[in-house]
Amino acid sequence: MAALKIANSEFTSRLFVGTGKFASNDIMARAIEAAGTQMVTIALRRVDIENDNDNMLAAIDRKKCQLLPNTSGARDADEAVRLSRLARAASGINWVKLEVTPDPYYLLPDGSETLKAAEVLVKDGFIVLPYIHADPILAKKLQDVGCATVMPLASPIGSNQGIKTKASIEIIIEQATVPVVVDAGLGAPSHAAEAMEMGADAVLVNTAIATATDPVQMARAFKLAVEAGRIAYETGLPPKHTAASASSPLTGFLRNE
């Protein structure tokens, strides 16, 4: 498999893993290991000053995994920029998964606010990976302002519906000059394999792994699916035909015709 290059970094794994919703830090750490991922997303929240807070970062092996802070919770461009700067101050990392989701029910991203924030953040030295609807025009605009990837959604976050935006993601992949990461809604390894077969450069999975009965085994299943899909894409899938084409030789000795 070819390496994935984002900005000036190379990744041999094409599976990004989100760290939300895991039952414990231990299960999260073992799922990250089983996924073989080199990119994990994290979020920022207020410290609960009345209770002990555990430090989930300590459970992530930062030699193996790049941390990708997200801007979840941001409802407009200003909030996303503020969260990005806080994340950079907290971690020293200038990478950010830019997400602006004003509507908590479907959590669909606001394209115009995302573009506005992306312009500010790129100028401020961030490596910006924006989460977007599968909108090929917006993807091009984000690429043009200097985003390092585009991350179109397959279906709403955490919905496990698979790739409902296929035709648009195919156009984004065809047109993009930056890596395309299919993010959100991938509920089964087969969905991830499908995205990779389509030519996506990587996928991001959280809910389907974290909420599985056995997150460690599910992480492994996604790892294998992503690799299988990528290898199939690099090899080139055969064309489809309407009629059958026999796999076995049709010897005629059973009948005298």
Partner 1 sequence: MSEILKINGQEKTFEEGLPATLSELLENLKIDAATVVAEIDGQIVERKDFAQTNLTAGQSIELIRFVGGG
| Nearest distance from C-beta of residue 43 to partner 1, angstroms | 3
**∠ at Cα 25 (23, 26), nearest 5°?**
95
Query: Which residue's CB is nearer to partner 1, number 21 or number 123?
Result: 21
Q: Is 36 left (phi over 0), alpha (psi -120 to 50) or beta?
A: left
The question of whether 240 is a catalytic residue gets the answer: no
Query: Which residue's CB is nearer to partner 1, number 126 or number 233?
Result: 126
Contact (CB, 8 A) for 21 and 211: yes
**Cβ count near 76 (within 10 Å):** 15
CA 77, CA 54: separation in Å to the nearest integer?
29
**H helical segments located in 50-110:** 77-91
Query: Which residue's CB is nearer to partner 1, number 168 or number 211?
Result: 211
Residues 6+ apart with CB under 8 A from 177: 143
| Nearest distance from C-beta of residue 248 to partner 1, angstroms | 47
| Nearest distance from C-beta of residue 73 to partner 1, angstroms | 9
Going across the sheet that includes 202-205, the strands are 15-18, 202-205, 181-183
**Cβ count near 8 (within 10 Å):** 7
Q: For residue 249, give the DSSP letter.
A: -
List the beta bridge partners of residue 131.
Answer: 151
Query: Which residue's CB is nearer to partner 1, number 149 or number 206?
Result: 206
Q: Which of 5, 21, 64, 97 is catalytic?
A: 97
| Nearest distance from C-beta of residue 252 to partner 1, angstroms | 59
CA 117, CA 94: separation in Å to the nearest integer?
14
Strands (E), 106-189: 127-132, 151-152, 181-183
Closest by CA to 191, choosing from 168, 160, 232, is 160
Query: Which residue's CB is nearer to partner 1, number 3 or number 57?
Result: 57
Contact positions vs partner 1 (CB under 8 A): 18-22, 28, 41-47, 49, 52-53, 55-57, 69-70, 72, 85-87, 89-91, 157-158, 184, 204, 206-207
| Nearest distance from C-beta of residue 45 to partner 1, angstroms | 5
Which sequence positions are flagged as catalytic?
Answer: 97
